Amino acid sequence: MSLIESKDSLADIKSTLLNTLNRAGNDKRSAFRFIILNTISDGFPNSRYVVLRKFKTDTQALFIYTDSRSNKIKEIEEDPLASVLAYDKQKKCQIKLKGKISIHHKDKIAEQHWTALQGGQESYNTEKQPGKKVDSLKDSHQMKSEFDDEYFAVLVLKVSQAEILQLNGDGHIRALFDFEKTEASYLVP
Ligand SMILES: Cc1cc2nc3c(=O)[nH]c(=O)nc-3n(C[C@H](O)[C@H](O)[C@H](O)COP(=O)(O)O)c2cc1C
């Protein structure tokens, strides 16, 4: 079953897109829960998978958790513009997002998300920073003496543009939504 169909209007497609992203934040089985986050590193595109933790349909804000010492933080500090890519193989649907990221570390938003976190705190509590070269696998797993939110960061991507591509035997469906200009358009696939 595809996510969007040829009978859907642009308004239908927009609401399906926003609801699908919202669901990905709540449903661990959603194919759009694992997304590729693209940032710029020394002029080169740099990509990695992250978990879509939350998506607000009203503000188009997408939330990601990370370690404040990770490379992506430095890259975002240098250039907050980023894109996100995801694909649902079963539904044959690709979603592409563009926007600006704000970093929340040791602030109210980070605190709220840290308090609500159900497990996985160890991901933000390694002794050494993510990406650091170490002598052994054991060293790479060494935890801090206390588990806390010192290095817990929330990335909020304010989505300005979203593109959806539904592969479809009778003709692919591609559409672009601009949330800043509140524009919507079909695109040639
Ligand atoms: C399925 C999957 C989900 C991941 N989720 C996250 C995540 O939510 N946050 C995160 O910081 N890293 C996550 N990672 C690890 C990143 O892909 C990456 O290796 C790590 O964050 C370091 O990236 P950086 O050096 O570019 O900052 C995930 C990896 C995989 C394979």
**144 pLDDT higher than 90:** yes
Number of domains in the chain: 1
Residue 5 belongs to some domain of the structure:
no
CATH code of the domain containing 75: 2.30.110.10
Mean pLDDT of the 108-135 span: 94
What amino acid is encoded at 96 in this protein? K
Residue 113 belongs to some domain of the structure:
yes
Mean pLDDT of the 138-146 span: 92
Predicted local confidence at residue 160, as pLDDT? 98
CB atoms within 10 A of CB 45: 9
Residue 4 belongs to some domain of the structure:
no
Mean pLDDT of the 81-90 span: 98
**Per-residue confidence band for 1, with pLDDT thresholds at 50, 70 and 90:** confident
Torsion sign across C-alpha atoms 110, 58, 83, 180: negative
Q: Percent of the chain, pLDDT > 90?
A: 94
Mean pLDDT of the 75-92 span: 98
Mutate to test the pocket of ligand 1, among 39, 49, 152 (most ligand atoms within 8 A of CB): 49
Predicted local confidence at residue 146, as pLDDT? 87
DSSP 73: H
What the block records as the tokens of 46 is: 């740099």
Residue 65 belongs to some domain of the structure:
yes
Residue 41 belongs to some domain of the structure:
yes
**68 pLDDT higher than 90:** yes
**Per-residue confidence band for 115, with pLDDT thresholds at 50, 70 and 90:** very high
Residue 138 belongs to some domain of the structure:
no
What the block records as the tokens of 78 is: 């240098």
Check if the beta carbon of residue 94 is closer than 8 Å to that of residue 85: yes
Which residues lie across from 184 on neighbouring strands?
A: 177
Mean pLDDT of the 109-115 span: 97
Provide the mean pLDDT of the chain.
96
Predicted local confidence at residue 143, as pLDDT? 94
Ligand 1: which residues within 6 Å by Cβ? 34, 46, 48-51, 64-66, 70-72, 130-131
Distances (CA, A) of 18 to 61, 82, 95, 104, 144: 10, 18, 11, 23, 38
Residue 73 belongs to some domain of the structure:
yes
Residue 166 belongs to some domain of the structure:
yes
Instruction: State in Å: Cα 160 to ligand 1 middle.
Output: 23
Q: Provide the residue range defining the domain that includes 39.
A: 10-126+147-187
Check if the beta carbon of residue 49 is closer than 8 Å to that of residue 35: yes
